[in-house]
Structure 1
Amino acid sequence: MKARITGVATYLPERTVSSADVERRIEGYAPHRGIVERLTGVRRRHVAGDDEQASDLAVNAVRELDHSGTDLLIFASASQDMIEPATAHIVAAKLGLSCPVFDVKNACNSMLNGIQIAEALILSGAHRKVVVCAGEIPSRAIRWRVRDRAQFADSFAGYTLSDTGAAVTVAADVERGIFYRDFAADSTAWGIGTLPGGGSAHPRDLEYSYFRGDGRALRRAFEAVGPDIFLNALKRTGLTWDDFAVVAVHQVALPYLRFLAEVLDIPEDRLVVSLPEHGNCASTTLPLQLALGGWSPGDRVALLGLGGGISTGVMLAEM
């Protein structure tokens, strides 16, 4: 028995905002015009409506899939509607589902870990069909009033983020499915990029309700971890990137994507470059690239995850 990704769907809010619009909205400090797109390659990102919650974005994506017969729903997202209850309950209620539910959270690798858990539960025989979904609304944690250049740099990652929803169905299959997975973490680097508010450390201080991070330090941390987890996937399976229809890579900035693709020797025609037109979609990035990519049933796809904390992950699947 295997666990196969049988469906992929995304929800992209209609409203888009350009990087120029983002720069114009910043108050108190005037960044150099064009700096966001120049440093990251992001031209525009999606912004949810004021009346939309993270659960709504996930629900809209799930509704694009055949979710009949679902016996488990996992909400796997960096965003959430509230601290309690699990946002998965809210998603299930809006969909009219009565199956067991729970949340998974691991920054931008949340959905990849959600699929990992779905596969394990299917292989154990506990479930037959699992919906893994996410609703990302990072736009609500962006600092718009900026004191100075240092605070702008500390808040910079937020200006690339996009509101998106995604969902995948994972079901038992006797013929094909996920055939390799590996995950790693360097948790000593957890403090490089944070959204500190809302937990026990900073429960009510509004100052901690914005994204904070050091992009250069984050890149150095991932470079220190190295590419072995991705290269080992090829060595252990005897495959090359040319054996995959799509190689989906989490994307935060085009210069780092190019660097990683060069280090891993990924052919350009296998990459789906989602960042310029969709921004950093957090945990929904990989399913978005699957939805945009050109693959057919039976094709192999590779999912390469990078997440704050920091964590890395790779999953290879036959669709």
Structure 2
Amino acid sequence: MGTGSVLPGNPVSNDELVARGIETSDSWIIERTGIRFRHIAESGLTSSMLGAEAARRALDAAGLAASDVDLIIVATSTPDKVFPSTACLVQAALGVSGFPAFDVQAVCSGFVYALTIADKFIRSGSHRRALVIGAEVFSRIIDWEDRRTCVLFGDGAGAVVLEASEQPGILATALRADGSQHEILEVPGNIRNGHVEGSPFVHMDGAAVFKLAVRVLGDVAQEVLDQAGLTTEQLDWLIPHQANIRILQATAKRLQLPTEKVVVTVDRHGNTSAASVPLALDTAVRDGRVKAGQNVMLQGVGGGFTWGAALLRM
């Protein structure tokens, strides 16, 4: 019914990272990732604050008030607190209460996981309208001395409003995970007795992530197309997790999908984890590329290892 997104502060360019003392270059980052800018939340700005603002914009686009919603699901790996959930904090910020609000932790696949869960709630008949949000302040779990990871990530939030309808807008979904691959992308630290035990920063085996991501994204895309009885040729837009331009290009090639049908925003905001898919969706809706009646596939892949896809008819 509506989409919304928000990016905090001003864009930070690759050259600005170099000026801060990170041993890299603009050309190196662009060539390997396609990223030109990222946004970094100022101190005190949290995932729930970003999520609430994205939600307000999605509600405005839908012509609805927060009181019209009866479910909030937030996908995040960077919650404000250990508890309560970020979703409960978003609910409070929107000035509503009395209905379920909870978080989903599937890292960069989080939004697709959350969207799929909301779809099941609505299809069951128990709920009519849902806010589904992806919100992250990933800059706070990045080691800014590790150029392999610090150039990749940024902060932001995106949201959509779903509403029950006799004409399904979500045609097919599929969620997958392989916990045996958790070590290729993880934050291995935890809080114990008031102290951080282990590393509190993102650790990633880039080559392993690339190889696995391209394979599983291709497989899950075909899975949801088969569920819906559609072919790749009938797909108007692919909106994948905005992690790395090379992964996006390789996935499109595997699907034999023209690159002109892939929505790419990674150059503007880097990898925003669970926020990246709704950010890209909102961008494409608002600039007029994504139109009513079109078939759009959303994809996520991330730490866990998790992945999934949702096929929509807008």
Match of 1:230 among 218, 221, 228: 221
Cα pair 2:14 2:25 within 8 Å, conserved? no
Cα pair 1:242 1:267 within 8 Å, conserved? no
Between the aligned partners of 2:133 and 2:44, the Cα distance in structure 1 is 20
Cα pair 2:136 2:156 within 8 Å, conserved? yes
Q: 1:296/1:203 Cα in 2 relative to 1: closer, same or farther (>3 Å)? A: farther
* 2:164 counterpart SS class: strand
Q: Which residue of 2 aligns with 1:128?
A: 128
Cα pair 2:157 2:278 within 8 Å, conserved? no
* 2:230 counterpart SS class: coil
Q: Which moved more, 1:158-167 or 1:214-223?
A: 214-223
Q: Which residue of 2 aligns with 1:214?
A: 205
Normalized against structure 2, the TM-score is what? Answer: 0.89
Cα pair 1:40 1:254 within 8 Å, conserved? yes
Cα pair 1:36 1:42 within 8 Å, conserved? yes
Q: Which residue of 1 aligns with 2:179?
A: 187
Q: Which residue of 2 aligns with 1:19?
A: 14
Cα pair 2:38 2:270 within 8 Å, conserved? yes
Between the aligned partners of 2:34 and 2:149, the Cα distance in structure 1 is 13
User: How far 1:246 sits from its partner (Å)?
Assistant: 2.1
Between the aligned partners of 1:162 and 1:303, the Cα distance in structure 2 is 20
* 2:299 counterpart SS class: strand
Q: Which moved more, 1:242-251 or 1:45-54?
A: 242-251
User: How far 1:199 sits from its partner (Å)?
Assistant: 4.6
Count, aligned residues = 303
* 2:54 counterpart SS class: helix
Give the superposed CA RMSD: 2.1
Q: 1:137/1:206 Cα in 2 relative to 1: closer, same or farther (>3 Å)? A: farther
* 2:38 counterpart SS class: strand
Instruction: Determine if the alignment matches structure 1 residue 160 to structure 2 residue 155.
Output: no
1:248-271 deviation line (CA, Å, top 9, x unaligned): 011211122211111111222211
* 1:108 counterpart SS class: helix
User: How far 1:240 sits from its partner (Å)?
Assistant: 2.7
Normalized against structure 1, the TM-score is what? Answer: 0.88
Q: Which runs of 5+ in 2 are unaligned?
A: none
Cα pair 1:230 1:314 within 8 Å, conserved? yes
Q: Which runs of 5+ in 1 are unaligned?
A: 1-5, 147-151
1:110-137 deviation line (CA, Å, top 9, x unaligned): 1111111111111111111111112210
Letter paired with 1:287: P
Q: Which residue of 2 aligns with 1:149?
A: none
Q: 1:156/1:288 Cα in 2 relative to 1: closer, same or farther (>3 Å)? A: same
Match of 1:258 among 233, 238, 249: 249
* 2:254 counterpart SS class: helix
Instruction: Determine if the alignment matches structure 1 residue 63 to structure 2 residue 56.
Output: yes
| Correspondence list, 1:20-169, <5 A | 20-26=15-21, 30-31=23-24, 34-64=27-57, 65=59, 66=64, 67-98=66-97, 99-144=99-144, 146=145, 152=146, 156-169=148-161
Between the aligned partners of 2:134 and 2:100, the Cα distance in structure 1 is 16
* 1:133 counterpart SS class: strand
Q: Which residue of 2 aligns with 1:205?
A: 196
Q: Which residue of 2 aligns with 1:3?
A: none
Match of 2:169 among 177, 180, 198: 177
Q: Which residue of 2 aligns with 1:300?
A: 295
* 1:205 counterpart SS class: strand
Letter paired with 2:212: A
* 2:224 counterpart SS class: helix
Letter paired with 1:47: I
Cα pair 2:296 2:313 within 8 Å, conserved? yes
